[in-house]
Structure 1
Amino acid sequence: MKRLTSGALAAAAFAAAIGVPGAATTPAAPAKRPNILYIMADDLGYSDIGAFGGEIETPNLDALARDGRLLANHHTGTVCAITRAMLISGTDHHLVGEGTMGAPRDERRGLPGYEGYLNDSALSVAQLLRDGGYHTYMAGKWHLGAGEEGKGKTPDQWGFERSYALLPGAARNHFGHEPADARNYSEDGRFVQPGPGFYSTDFYTRKLIEYIDARRGDGKPFFAYAAYTSPHWPLQVPEPYLSKYKGRYDAGYDAIRLARIARMKQLGIIPADFTPYAGLPETLRQSPATANSGTPQARYVNAVNGAAQGHVDYGPGRVVKKWDSLTPLEKKAQARYMEIYAGMVDNLDHNIGLLIRYLKEIGEYDNTFIMFQSDNGAEGWPVDGGADPRATDEANAAPEAYAKLGTDQLKRIQYGLRWAEVSAAPFRNVKGASHEGSVSTPLIVRLPGGSGQGGRQPVLRDWTYVTDNTATFLAVAGIEPPRRPAPPDPDAAGGKDRNAGKVVYKGRNVYPVSGTSLLPLLRGDRLAERGLPAADESYGRGYVFSADGRWKAVWAEPPQGPTDGHWQLYDLRSDRGENRDVAAGHPEVVAQLVQRWQAYMTQVGGVEPLRPAGFY
């Protein structure tokens, strides 16, 4: 790794390149390189925040959007750990150990790339930035290894100078009530327990400010990763947010979704003629599995074998009610779940505001590159009205139980599939799927010095990916990632070069950053080519985009997907809502895209499971 320029030249060149008002092409005086603040929400939907059409009050993110850029075609992984692995490493999750979120529960367990934690073939953007002269801080969710029993490393071992991390994907609750022997949290690699007064979102903000403040006098820039766990379940938030949204969701799913879509069109997030996805059709009875499902004789439909190859088996469907089919008690519980969720998002925005206010107070706001996004689409685990009656029974069994919703006195609750569809508007499907509602998230970028225009910025519609974030951070810092090819290492058994495509970094052979910097796009130029195709696979589900971005092929297991196992095809030029499967009319396009997807799978070492199934 080498520094492209000195710190002074890097800061001045960056300011000039992005068009910061008054930036000189030649530095008149030494200037510090920009700080980087990266903020990640957890399971936040595409339309939840105000700048993207939501009714939830998010004034701080809205202000950040007015002072920055909105990227409306940004993509992530399908689930939390997959996205986080790609963010830290800058490349595909299969290459660096998170082929699935955690070790798979099928025949792929133990295969390379399916370790279930960030493996030793990964780079770390934090380490690269630290080597390049940055302080590196993190507070929040890690989800890339627990640091014990050989299951990966804690953030301090991946280049974070200071870190307070929730190691697994979720905690028992957001108020930190952990068993005495729990090892869910670590600070700088040492297991710790949250103390009194802990609420995750508030605490992570205080901790990150503490880290920055302790070392800000030495003149070094910082990279701060605010990895919030909000609004991930369990739905919990303190007052006044717990009560703030009472009554606002009594109108139900469709009314809220349609209002969001109208605002998105007004804001220019989506075109005026955009046809949104209307949600899954109502199913009041669970469709049955095939006769052999669950038996040794089953031949499950997957992304490479469908009915034409004699694979016909799949599992049962699910019950999904519309609002008008809910009982009054189910409506009461469902409205309350969304009220609490909205309070969590509001509280998240408040804490982002605290971070921004702190940067302004210490005089670093105008020298900080800020990026905000969600790690994936909205969480639609079907604990909703009708799909799991226990959720409603628990909420309404007694007045005192209902009163505890959203506090630290009631066990895990989620807001369910239908509200997740509202959060995902205007797109199809939710977290864990391969449709846009799962992998498209809001992205806001605020450049050092701001936009200088003081108003709503044009929406950028180029296709971008989470690995581009990694490349962007390095470009902002003026740091070039390692590129020296690793020496060949043939596998004695199979003859395959285990170092193919790798580079050398500090004596390790690792996969290089495959994303591309977003800085050219942010200044109005074209993006460079990425090192990997726009494609993915997780839990047997898959998608692939055509090189020009027009076409998207999607595979989903039955009965959520077609029972014959064919790949669905969408023309995103006219149908980004993925309403119309046009595969039958364009077989040649489908064939080309499936071939492209298979080449991607070979390139990253992906393995299609015999039985595809969601992460739950």
Structure 2
Amino acid sequence: MTASPSHCLSKTLSSPSVFNAPKIGLAGIAVAALSACAVTPQPPLAGSKPNILYIIADDLGYSDIGAFGGEISTPNLDALVRSGRILTNYHTSTVCAVTRSMLYSGTDHHLVGEGTMGPPNDERKGLPGYEGYLNNQALSIAELLRDAGYHTYIAGKWHLGSKINAKEDKTPDQWGFEHSFTLLGGATGNHFGHDRASDKTYTENGRFVSLPATDNAGRPWYDTHVYTQKLIANIDEHIKDGKPFAAFATYTSPHWPLQVPEPWASQYKGAYDAGYEVIRQRRLDKQKQLGFVPADYTLPGQLLPNAASASPATANFGRPNARYINADTVPGQHTDNVDYGPGNINLTWAQLPPAQKKLQARYMEIYAGMVSNLDYNIGLLIQHLKDIGQYDNTFIVFHSDNGAEGSRVSAEQEAANARNIASLGRDQTLNPPGTEKTYIRYGWRWAEVSATPFRLVKGFTTEGGTSVPMVVHLPGQSAAQTPVREFAHVRDAAPTLLEMAGIAQPLAPAGVSGVNGIPLVKYKDRNVYPITGHSFLGELRGRHAAPLHPEPVGEEQYGRTYLRSGPWKIVWTEPPLGPSDGHWQLYNIEQDRTETRDLAAQHPEVVATLYRQWQSYMHDSGAVLAKKPGNTGRLPAPPR
């Protein structure tokens, strides 16, 4: 019998796994509760395949949730950890679209269209694998699941194609998603919406849509809330037919611009007045208690150097005769390439004037509010699975799409933010005419806090750019399992989901090859690159003794790159954040995941071996280095 609304409201309100968070208005709670309880619980069919709930955060740092050392309130994710399992050594790419291309295809991003995030504007333009969208030689995990009998849903960010009913550059409805409500691009200009169909920024089920002023609960439109409502509605629409579902919640939080509604906007007032170094040390201390880092690990030597002014670029930087240092630098050999870009201004908390401290603290308060709001919505999804009797038959995955985002606003925008600090984080379209607009990115130093204990941030192939918080919950699991500390990669997600669903990978030879002679496989009427990731389901079930990745694993983006093999990892980063001589750095990554001790000088033979393996990786993935690497030591500037 369907539960009564009053019973459902009481049950939802009393659930600590959902509402150990800021209190919201009673009307909002009631609507959420009623939507969560309007469907008769449907027990899983005997022998039925498990459901999948795959949750992705956007630009969330490694230490931002409580279970990974953070002070931000994330009770729902922490509860998921207590009945699930964390993967402490899970890696994505350095940026969001690239990560997503590997998540859905199960293979290297260079092969399937995201050699760079978006089409390159350099000498690589037009090369295979550099289309800037998911190309037609990619598999789609959604298509594989749907063809095997799953309902497939996505709500949130897409960032892999933007054309409706097109042969290429396609929206998610053309990649196997039965229901889709998605932001097509990489970022929204306003988490509170207001986009029109003519803007072509959002699609729903294959058509451009205008965003309403309010969500289904009557609150002002806010994307994180709406994505949750959309997925719940999708799940409820078909739950009675007994077919399993795969729902992808691809949230855009806490990606800039930093915005969140009340009460989350005020939840952390005063919490970050102590500043960058104190908060990072607190997180590190908690991570030591949790066993993430050795008890004797210290921060000095790990953070970016203090800089009151940007270090200069080399004389020829940006000129036609520039010779840029890049990863083609052969270890141990002289190179005539000497040019690189400027550095960054990075002040410590003590160097900031009082007004800047107030502004920077407010930035982090709003960021933390976004994370707690995200956790609240994740709690609603999980509670809904429990309310409809599907929680125990659902495989739940949560992780971020890359490391913490370190970019910051312009000096002009910073000044405007300081003059209008009271309006930070809210919907700027509600400001009186003529009011200055505020816009927040929280910058390098807070990103370093989010990346604790690792080095550098999003956009870099260091651990800080690619290590992300990862939590999983197996169907029927009720108690926490010991963390999986083995290296795993986002390419491993697709084969894991297929194994969980009992679906075979496409392996039939297509009889033709892709870039650099890579054999393709046949899937329906397409020739596609095979999945190259490895399922980690065995690790989750405690069955694998051998390493998940005995083979070398590499990654390249913006000319920044790494390769890891066994206990070793080589990393290349352009100056000034990388070595001024452009050498490859070497770390014993099993003993030094924080990449503190560069061992390249002590072990040149190891560097040489891994460099040759890196060359093979680049060839086998169709990757091409740009002559001018990186973003010249800077992350992308904000839009004007």
* Normalised TM-score (structure 1): 0.90
Whole-Å Cα distance in 2 between the matches of residues 180 and 464 of structure 1? Answer: 39
Structure 2 residue 608 is matched with structure 1 residue 591: yes
Look up the equivalent residue of 2:582 and give its one-letter code: G
How many angstroms does 1:244 deviate by?
0.6
Do the aligned partners of residues 489 and 600 (structure 1) sit closer, same or farther apart at CA in structure 2, a change above 3 Å counting? closer
Q: Does 1:465 align with 2:489?
A: yes
Residues 109-138 of structure 1: CA distance to partner in whole angstroms, max 9, x if unpaired?
Answer: 111000000001100000000011100000
Q: Please tell me whether residue 181 in structure 1 is matched to residue 205 in structure 2.
A: no
Question: How many residue pairs get matched?
Answer: 571
In structure 2, what is the equivalent of residue 565 of structure 1? 582
Report the counterpart of residue 201 of structure 1 in structure 2: 224
Q: For 1:207 and 1:531, locate their aligned partners in 2 and report how far apart those are by CA, in whole Å.
A: 40
Distance 1:331 1:517 in 2: 46
Residue in 2 that maps onto 1:10? none
Which residue of the other structure, out of 218, 222, 244, is the alignment partner of 2:241? Answer: 218
In the other structure, the counterpart of 2:466 is 439
Q: Which residue of 1 aligns with 2:342?
A: 316
State the shift of 1:275 in Å: 4.5
Q: Is the 8 A contact 1:516 1:528 kept in 2?
A: no
- Per the TM alignment, residue 180 of structure 1 is displaced from its structure 2 partner at its CA by 6.4
2:9 alignment partner in structure 1? none
Confirm or deny: 8 A CA contact 1:515 1:531 kept in the other structure.
no
Hey, what's the Cα distance between the residues in 1 that align with 2:493 and 2:513? Answer: 30
- 1:35 has 2:54 as partner: no
Matched, 1:339 2:365: yes
* Partner in structure 2 of residue 166 of structure 1: 183
Residues 221 and 531 of structure 1, relative CA distance in 2, 3 Å threshold: farther
Give the 3 Å change call, closer, same or farther, for CA 150–135 of structure 1 in structure 2: closer
State whether structure 2 residue 627 is matched by structure 1 residue 610: yes
Q: Report if the CA contact (8 A) 2:423-2:438 is conserved.
A: no
How far apart, CA to CA, are the structure 1 residues paired with 2:572 and 2:534?
A: 26
Q: What is the CA distance between 1:501 and its match in structure 2?
A: 2.2
Aligned to 1:19: none
Residues 417 and 438, structure 2, Cα contact 8 Å, conserved in 1: no
User: Is 2:546 the partner of 1:518?
Assistant: no
Instruction: Report the TM-score when normalising by structure 2.
Output: 0.87
- Which residue of the other structure, out of 453, 460, 478, is the alignment partner of 1:426? 453
Within the candidate set 401, 415, 431, 1:393 is matched to 415
Check conservation: 1:96, 1:120, Cα contact below 8 A.
Answer: yes
2:398 pairs with 1:381: no
Q: Which residue of 1 aligns with 2:395?
A: 369
Moved more, 273-282 or 293-302: 273-282
Structure 1 residue 490: Cα displacement: 9.0
CA distance 1:105–1:532, shift in 2 (3 Å) = farther
Give the letter aligned to residue 91 of structure 2: H
Aligned to 2:498: 474
TM-fit CA distance, 1:31: 2.5
CA–CA distance in structure 2, aligned partners of residues 536 and 427 of structure 1: 18
Deviates more, 1:551-560 or 1:147-156: 147-156
Q: CA deviation at 1:472?
A: 0.7
- CA positional deviation for 1:252: 0.1
In 1, the alpha carbon distance for the partners of 2:329 and 2:607 equals 15
Task: Give 2:441's aligned amino acid.
Answer: Q
- What residue identity is the alignment partner of 1:323? W
Instruction: Kindly provide the CA deviation profile for residues 144-173 of structure 1, in whole angstroms up to 9, marking residues without a partner as x.
Output: 011168761000100000000100000111
1:54 alignment partner AA: G
Equivalent residue runs for 1:246-325 within 5 Å: 246-276=269-299, 278-305=302-329, 308-325=334-351
Whole-Å separation in 1 of the counterparts to 2:513 and 2:446: 50
* Aligned amino acid, residue 387 of structure 2: E
In the alignment, the residues of structure 1 paired with residue 513 and residue 65 of structure 2 have an alpha-carbon distance, to the nearest angstrom, of 48
Match of 2:137, SS? coil
Deviations 1:416-472 (A, max 9, x none): 11000000000000000010011000110100111x43xx53221100000111111
Q: Is 1:551 the equivalent of 2:574?
A: no
- In 2, are the aligned partners of 1:274 and 1:575 still within 8 Å (CA)? no
Compute the displacement of 1:531 (Å).
Answer: 9.9
Provide the C-alpha distance between the structure 1 equivalents of 2:174 and 2:547, rounded to a whole number of angstroms.
31
The residue number in structure 1 matching 2:159 is 143
For the residues of structure 1 that align with 2:384 and 2:362, how far apart are their CA atoms?
A: 33
Query: Equivalents in 2 of 1:65, 1:156: separation in Å?
Result: 32
Q: Distance in 2 between matches of 1:375 and 1:288?
A: 32
Q: Does structure 1 retain, via aligned residues, the 8 Å contact 2:572–2:585?
A: yes
* 1:342 alignment partner AA: A
2:18 aligned partner:
none
Q: Give the counterpart letter for 2:323 in structure 1.
A: R
Q: Deviations over 1:236-290 (max 9, x none)?
A: 0000000110100000001100111111121223333444564101011211111
Q: Secondary structure at the match of 1:480?
A: coil
Q: Whole-Å Cα distance in 2 between the matches of residues 224 and 96 of structure 1?
A: 23
Give the SS at the match of 2:511. Answer: coil
Identify which range, 78-87 or 482-491, moves more after superposition. Answer: 482-491
The equivalent residue for 2:30 is: none
CA contact (8 A) 2:133 2:169 kept: yes
- Could you tell me which amino acid in structure 2 is paired with residue 213 of structure 1? D
Matched, 1:245 2:268: yes
The correspondence of residues 103-142 of structure 1 with structure 2, limited to 5 A, is 103-142=119-158
Structure 1 pair 439–69 and aligned structure 2 pair: CA distance change class (3 A): same
Cα distance between partner residues in 1 of 2:533 and 2:298:
30
Question: What is the identity, as a one-letter code, of the residue corresponding to 2:562?
Answer: Y
Answer whether contact 2:98 2:109 (CA < 8 A) is retained.
Answer: yes
Aligned-partner Cα distance in 2 for 1:150–1:490: 19
Unaligned 5+ residue runs, structure 1?
1-28
C-alpha separation in 1, matches of 2:522 and 2:198: 40
How far 1:606 moved relative to its partner? 0.2
Specify the code of the residue in structure 1 equivalent to 2:122: D
- After superposition, the Cα gap between the structure-2 partners of 1:490 and 1:564, relative to the gap in structure 1 and judged at 3 Å, is closer
In the alignment, what sits opposite 2:169? 152
The CA distance in 2 between the partners of 1:529 and 1:443, in whole Å, is 16
Q: For 1:503, what is the secondary structure of its paired residue? A: strand
2:527 is equivalent to residue 506 of structure 1 = no
Q: What are the ranges of 5 or more consecutive residues in structure 2 without an aligned counterpart?
A: 1-44, 215-220, 429-436
Alignment of 1:487 with 2:511, yes or no, is yes
